[in-house]
Amino acid sequence: MSAKLFISAIAKFLLGVVLVGVLIFLPAGSLSFVGGWLLMGVLFVPMFVAGIVMMVKDPSLLRRRLDAKEKQSDQSAVIKLSGLMFVVGFVLAGLNFRFDWYRLPIGVSIGGAVVFLLGYVLYAEVLRENSYLSRTIQVSEGQTVVDTGLYGIVRHPMYTATLLLFLSMPLILGSLYAFLVFLAYPVLIAVRIRGEERLLTEELDGYRAYKEKVKYRLIPHIW
């Protein structure tokens, strides 16, 4: 573990905390937004713990997870649209609280938090199984096809985990309107998966055979 990696990881974590906090609580006009604090807790506490574990056990994986600069133009567009989705969704949820638009029951927020944490557990298992995971679409030197565990069920379990994580966020915030915005995510992730599979089929040995073995991309028996 290098000092540079440690500083970069801490800086990006703190930036994320501040950015999400501003996007949620500034539109809400109040720090009494319980759903906002619930989301901040379930989002950043496990993220901090996971970052510490990766920093100690697998710094190279942490370094890849911190690299968010997408090199492919079409995938860069997907990332930018995803970012826009988060901004609009969080701001809308804050405004929902401020102006007392239709709020989902507190039970929905708690249920959303449970689903979010389950998504985090799934995400952690994916990271354990595949140390080549990065935030950008690429093939690393020495990378091999992982076809065991969750990868024996669907080809992209990381995206399955993010589907649970992201769609539960607006529910935690108690905003139906924000949830409608976040429904753009399955479409965006489908576009990303198609582009990723084109690259992996061309550049990763054994991936074509893996696609024949594991038929489903994201959700078993559906897609």
How many Å separate Cα 162 from the centre of its chain?
Answer: 4
What's the Cα-to-Cα distance from 9 to each of 4, 6, 131, rounded to whole Å? 9, 5, 18
What is the average per-residue pLDDT within 95-122?
Answer: 94
pLDDT, position 72: 57
Q: Is residue 144 pLDDT above 60, yes or no? A: yes
Nearest residue to 179 (alpha-carbon basis) of 58, 83, 96: 96
Mean pLDDT of the chain: 87
Nearest 5 degrees, angle CA 112-CA 39-CA 22?
Answer: 145
- The domain spans of the chain are 3-132+143-213
pTM of the model: 0.86
pLDDT, position 163: 94
**Using 50, 70 and 90 to split pLDDT, how confident is the model at 197?**
confident
Nearest residue to 88 (alpha-carbon basis) of 170, 188, 32: 170
What is the average per-residue pLDDT within 105-112?
Answer: 95
CATH code for residues 3-132+143-213: 1.20.120.1630
Q: Is residue 36 pLDDT above 90, yes or no? A: yes
**Using 50, 70 and 90 to split pLDDT, how confident is the model at 142?**
low
Q: Residue 193: which H helix or E strand, with range?
A: helix 184-203
